[in-house]
Amino acid sequence: LAGDADVQSVQIQSVSAGGEKFAPVVRKYAEKFGVDWVLVLAVMQQESRFDRNALSHKGAFGLMQIMPQTRLELEEKLGVDETLTPRNNIKAGIYHLKRLSRSFSSSSEEDQTRLTLAAYNAGLSRIFDAQDVAAHLGEDPRTWKAVRAALPLLSRRYYTLHQQVWAEGQPRAGYFTDWRQTTNYVDRIVENFGHYDVAIR
């Protein structure tokens, strides 16, 4: 338990340092787009550890780790020439979070947050596929609990289920095997958000 407390202390110190540096920009665009600024910091911590030059093996770049294809779309939507600089990367990431959250407006606030985070990580189409499976199984697709349980069912081994859900016989976004990464991602951000909310708000 002491070890866990030490880790949490380091995490809080890390986000406090990162938050101090980027807080003005995060607050500005979080307020503009209606997103919780502390949640944005928790996402940023998970995505890039506040490294403005972070680059993933899939090509996601910057503080908010925006994928190349998404980056081009966001640049057009926001009317900016690039989303590589920290300010524009943060702006685009927050706008993207808000845009994703609108897809889950019928969910409770808690479920909406978790579904939005899952979509930010796995892609909105993946979460829609999981919602289709959840609905087919008689669960409430508006809840993170139902979607979380449905995500593993998007892998190829459940092809017979897919044939019952979709006329095409498979998930619209293709088979999905990284569901553990997505559920862990959501869990870590929600946990860190709780720590940061107490420490820095």
- List the catalytic residues: 47
What's the CA gap between 129 and 126, in Å, rounded? 5
What's the CA gap between 17 and 104, in Å, rounded? 32
Nearest to 88 by CA among 76, 99, 104, 100: 76
Query: Which residues sit opposite 61 in a β-bridge?
Result: 55, 66
Reported as type and span, the H/E element at residue 63 is none
Number of other residues whose CB lies within 10 A of the CB of residue 72: 12
Number of other residues whose CB lies within 10 A of the CB of residue 38: 24
Reported as type and span, the H/E element at residue 91 is helix 86-101
